[in-house]
Amino acid sequence: EDKEEDESKEEDNGSQQNRASRRKNYQRKNRDGKKAREEGGQKKDRGKTAPTKDQKESENKEKKTTKRGKEGEKKDRKNSTSSGSSNSSDEESLSEEELAMLKEQVEQKKKLISTMRNKPWRMVKKLSVLREAQDFVEKFEGALGKGKGKKLYAYKMMMAKKWVKFKRDFENFKTQCIPWEMKIKEVESHFGSSVASYFIFLRWMYGVNLVLFGLIFGLVIIPEILMGMPYGSLPRKTVPRAEQATAMDFSVLWDFEGYIKYSALFYGYYNNQRTIGWLKYRLPMAYFMVGISVFGYSLMVVIRSMARNANESTADGDDDNFIFSWKMFTSWDYLIGNPETADNKFASITTSFKESIVDEQESNKDENIHLRRFLRVLANVLIICCLCGSGYLIYFVVKRSQTFSKMQNVGWYERNEVEIVMSLLGMFCPPLFETIAALENYHPRIGLKWQLGRIFALFLGNLYTFLLALMDDVNEKLAEEDVVKNITHWTLLGHHNSSAGNDSTVTPPPLDPADVPRGPCWETTVGIEIVRLTVSDILVTYITILVGDFIRACFVRFVNYCWCWDLEAGFPSYAEFDISGNVLGLVFNQGMIWMGSFYAPGLVGINVLRLLTSMYFQCWAVMSSNVPHARVFKASKSNNFYMGLLLLILFLSLLPVAYTIMSLPPSFDCGPFSGKKRMYDVIQETIELDFPLFVAKIFSYVANPGLIIPAILLMVLTIYYLNAVSKAYQRANAELKKKMQMQREEEKNKRNNKASTNPMLEDLEDLLTPSTKTESPPKQAEDKKIESPNGTSPVRKPGRGEVLAGSPMASGRGAAFTPPSQAFVMQPRTLGIRASYPGQPRPWGHPLGPLPGRGRGQPCY
């Protein structure tokens, strides 16, 4: 280890020496360059002689290579060289103005350093420019500030440096903490980015759920377990006598009765004691706030990531002006690292090219439009029938299950009918929809959206029917509760009286908590329903994967040796990974979690486990038994589409929870809010008892409808205003686009005129243009070029400026490649669009420098 360190140190020294010498060289070069520039400037007036041209050329190059781009940098550079020489002579005599200028330069250098990675330079060049800039900053940072200010300034700079380093380390640390990077990458290279996008979504979801898990477990469940009353101390924390016989059955794990029902995993277990333990932890309050903040946090996270996605893709994705170009330039997925997938991709790109060509031709014809329309209407009618049917089926089943639940010994099927039916519907309806959708003959990407929308409608319909039926159930329970409440009251009273009547001196033996008659506790019932649905969903998903993917793959693989037809290519073949189905499954599962987490705090724990296992399980299943899609889709913007679905689901799952919290009375004998009229009373209670009087007053003012309604109005107005502003921006953007195009055309016309008036120039252009463009068949040309010395790459070595200066023409294309690319960056960036140069058609044709008629906003050399 020591040796290694020594070595690295030595190397360090070496590199530092290198650096120093390089720096020296660089400075010398700069000075030379400057001189040359001045010379060039002087000679400019004398007319265009050959050596001047050369010099100018080389000088241009150097200028460009060193700062390429914005004018600001150019200025900065000039300043730096001039002040570099003046400052070294006398640093003390700095006037205020100079100081300000220096400061500005230092700032500019710093900016340059921080944006260096955005420049398309070679590493060697980036390194040298970086070092130069850093040296400059180091050298002159100290000169800034006077007297006492100097120390403070130095200190501030030091802290800033430390802060940057810390941030970088933190970033490194963060990237190190991202789990499953390699796993996802492996999937990505086999299946392209679309399948991987599912796993990335899954991982993101896992992160969100971990936070929710932390909130709920840290603030509700753990405090309750540590500080709350233990099991068996209260009726609500005890299994009732009647159920005790079956409370430890194995089936408890499946239907969540028995001990699990009376545990901290469900709402009913919590006590309504205002504070618990020696910490005086306000558990009911915490329970309520956590329930709200679960939604608050989820909303915030989803919206934030949506906004970030929208920011990243500044493009208006529905822009269909560039269908062909996008297909051409952006359809290859560079992540594909597997030859088979690559073959699929080739095929899919080819078909998409062919299709779009055919589409283009067909869009002019528009034949058979009536038949297609008819088929589409028919398909939609069929699908609506399916949706209604499935909704009715679920309603029917839930109703039936309520009668079953009143009966005594019912079988396993009867008890779990709802879950089974819902899972079966979820399993069989999507393929059915897909079959029907074949009638419609949409473009696959549009087809995918329709399919997603329909499955979404199916799931949503099912979920809401389920909820409606559950609400019926809850209302029944509420009615039942009133009766039980009286019974309980009288039982307790009677017990007390009887024991008091028997013997007044002995205190009555307390009634065993298991014997107290209970209300039905609808909150726990709802929680249990949702948990059961979630668990059955998990099981069905896993079994589907196991049977539909793995067993099928095994069958196809091994039975193929002795079968009449080719199983791999023919009928069953291998399964493809169903992205849309999986994403929707995940989204709906999350909706269930959000809905259920208030009434079953333990649900999030189950979900975290589910996501964790499904990450490994699905990765394994995909790699072992799926084949890449025949038509490889890219992830594209659908990411935000998924997020939109998630947001919708979040909102929809918020509704029933908010409704139950705001308008249903909590059960009288279970849960943290028992005894209150409404659950939210807990806030009022806390404010009245725990806060000073004026807070309560402020709160009552704030909660006044007279204040809330104007606030809502204000928000609506703000939204309206912002919307209008964004529309105006969009219009302005479009206008600018149009203007630019017009200018371009204008300039082009101008150029054409000039070209026709100046045949001399044209001739020269033709002379200088190497005839590389007439290089035989494309494929061979490519191969040839790799070996041929003619295929020059834009070489960029440190000393390139001088080399080029020596032979401005000799290096031909290779050397001259660079100017146009630099010229492009040199333009000021406009709104989203970079103006193109209608300059000269062949950039290498002009060692003379820029042609007349180049765009505006450019430095002239």
Contact set for another protein, span 358-397 (CB under 8 A) = 360
Binding mask 331-360 for another protein (x = CB under 8 A): xxxxxxxxx-xxx--xx-xx--xx--x--x
Q: Which two tokens stand for residue 671?
A: 């849960």
- The number of CA neighbours under 13 Å toward the Cβ of 124 is 8
Residue whose structure tokens are 């080739």: 346
Q: Which two tokens stand for residue 606?
A: 């189950």
Min dist CB 116 to another protein, Å, is 6
Please say whether the beta carbons of 292 and 300 come within 8 A: no
Query: Which residue from 53, 70, 74, 126 is in contact with another protein, where contact means CB under 8 A?
Result: 126
Residues 589-648 that bind another protein (CB under 8 A): 634-637
* Centroid of chain to Cα 453: 21
276: three-class secondary structure by DSSP: strand
Residues 494-523 that bind another protein (CB under 8 A): none
Please say whether the beta carbons of 567 and 559 come within 8 A: yes
CA 294/CA 527 separation, integer angstroms: 16
Query: Which residue from 111, 119, 372, 631 is in contact with another protein, where contact means CB under 8 A?
Result: 119
Please say whether the beta carbons of 12 and 121 come within 8 A: no
Q: How far is residue 627 from each of residues 283, 317, 554, 575, 810, measured CA to CA in Å? A: 51, 29, 13, 6, 54
Query: Which residue from 842, 849, 858, 859 is in contact with another protein, where contact means CB under 8 A?
Result: 842
Min dist CB 349 to another protein, Å, is 5
Residues 87-116 that bind another protein (CB under 8 A): 113, 116
CA 291/CA 657 separation, integer angstroms: 10
CA 780/CA 775 separation, integer angstroms: 9
Q: Which two tokens stand for residue 548?
A: 């539909």
Query: Which residue from 93, 95, 176, 507 is in contact with another protein, where contact means CB under 8 A?
Result: 176
Query: Which residue from 2, 4, 45, 96 is in contact with another protein, where contact means CB under 8 A?
Result: 4
The stretch near another protein (CB under 8 A) out of 221-229, 466-474, 713-721, 824-832 is 824-832
Min dist CB 825 to another protein, Å, is 8
The stretch near another protein (CB under 8 A) out of 183-191, 274-282, 546-554, 593-601 is 183-191
Q: How many residues bind another protein (CB under 8 A)?
A: 110
The stretch near another protein (CB under 8 A) out of 146-154, 283-291, 328-336, 753-761 is 328-336
- The number of CA neighbours under 13 Å toward the Cβ of 462 is 29
For another protein, the closer of residues 317 and 675 by Cβ is 317
Min dist CB 635 to another protein, Å, is 6
* Centroid of chain to Cα 60: 43
Query: Which residue from 89, 93, 321, 771 is in contact with another protein, where contact means CB under 8 A?
Result: 321
* 443: contact with another protein by CB under 8 A: no
* 833: contact with another protein by CB under 8 A: yes
Binding mask 782-811 for another protein (x = CB under 8 A): xx-xx--x-xxxxxxx--------------
Give the closest residue to 48 by CA, choosing from 833, 764, 837: 764
Query: Which residue from 49, 172, 497, 730 is in contact with another protein, where contact means CB under 8 A?
Result: 172
CA 131/CA 21 separation, integer angstroms: 12
Min dist CB 584 to another protein, Å, is 21
Q: Which two tokens stand for residue 748?
A: 């082009």
Question: What is the three-state SS of 81-94?
Answer: HHHHHHHHHCCCCC
- Which residue type sits at 382? L
CA 284/CA 269 separation, integer angstroms: 12
For another protein, the closer of residues 68 and 518 by Cβ is 68
Residues belonging to the chain: 861
Give the closest residue to 289 by CA, choosing from 565, 680, 674: 680
Min dist CB 794 to another protein, Å, is 7
* 203: contact with another protein by CB under 8 A: no
Residues 757-786 that bind another protein (CB under 8 A): 772-773, 775, 778-779, 781-783, 785-786
Give the closest residue to 375 by CA, choosing from 436, 419, 333: 436
Min dist CB 667 to another protein, Å, is 50
For another protein, the closer of residues 7 and 91 by Cβ is 7
CA 631/CA 488 separation, integer angstroms: 65
The stretch near another protein (CB under 8 A) out of 135-143, 167-175, 263-271, 393-401 is 167-175
* Centroid of chain to Cα 614: 20
